[in-house]
Structure 1
Amino acid sequence: MDAYKKFVKELNPFQENQYENITQDKLAIFTMYFLEEKRIPLYFEYIGIAMFKFFPKRFSLITFKEYPDLYRISNLLRLHLRPTDRNWAVGNIRTNFSITTLGKEVAKETKKMLNNPNLQKKVLAKKNESKRIKSIEGDVDEIINSNLFKKWQENKESINEFEIFSFLGVMSFTRKEVIKKRILKLKDICKNTKNTEALSFMNYIIELLKF
């Protein structure tokens, strides 16, 4: 496992012009295909870090650009690549993923585009594909529309640390002060917008993590 971690951590980024017009889901399936070709297990954390290492401009946190946005990455893997959507991959973030035949074909085409940006279409990818919600209201909407928030409403006792880390866009080995800063930022946003339910949710997260 240490060899896998070392391999992923040492991946080099693509130039931004190589991927600026390629959609995020195609970048994700390319990354998964690359790891599979290198015999790296398709575990969520390996995929998430590899996506960030390859394409930092697309998959970093808004505020802490040196860290991957694992919450957004997990949503991309769970919601957009699954059989009921693109049908490019199967699996889940708790165990592992595998790539479908269709997914492999898309990955190969994406590889060609990455290696030769001139093959890419001259139009930019749809703006809403990569747009990041940066307003205070938008951040609150992201909180209350998240799967974790819905789970908190329905059965808060079943929430685990892994789900919280995924929601926060951090990893289990992320420094505690970084996690705390992320949580407090979200809590302040809830206070500023006077969304009492979202604030109660964030307080519950803080209590679980013992911050």
Structure 2
Amino acid sequence: MATILGQIHDFELVLEAANGQELIDRIARKTPDVVLLDLRMPVMDGMATADYLREKYPLVKIIILTMQDEDRMVLHLLEKGVGGYLLKDAEADEVERAIRKVMDDGVYLNEFVSRAMHRRMINKPTGLTTSTSPFYNSKVLLSEREKEVLSLLCDGLSTNEIGEKVCLSPRTVEGHRLRILEKTGTKNTAGMVAYAFRNNLV
């Protein structure tokens, strides 16, 4: 992986670590923009490391790179604010694409993640609250435009792509995104997307 990333002209590999504790000990010296994080590591595992990074380094983007393909794990980590979830057999060009997408838009939703979220949504037991609108939630009420923007974010579109699709300026789209974050109580786009699927908002 280090060799692959080193061959991309505008990427700089700033550190490698054997486990979460080693990463924490070294990250303050030169803080990266993106961390590719394994889940199963000795000393300090990926889950604990992700929690630490979200708290202490909220601007650092996290992409999980693992062999664990459990749907519940995918959704749980996205809710924690992890920006992307890749399996270790991902092709090199997808890893590069994920890094760029997470840097630009805060989240990378590949086909695996999208399917995992849909399966979790479909298999979720039906609650007591019912409504004719799929965007209704007992805690969240979104405007029609917010619903539209949220749906497109869940499709993996960027702010600029959404603006072009619905004829709004990127600034206006970003305003809608921030209001959705506030209403859902989530901290970033990845968490908002996970919240939307978990609560049947899309």
- Give the TM bin, normalised by the shorter chain: under 0.3
TM-score by length of 1: 0.25
TM-score by length of 2: 0.26
Higher relative contact order (CA 8 A, sep 6+): 1
More strand by share: 2
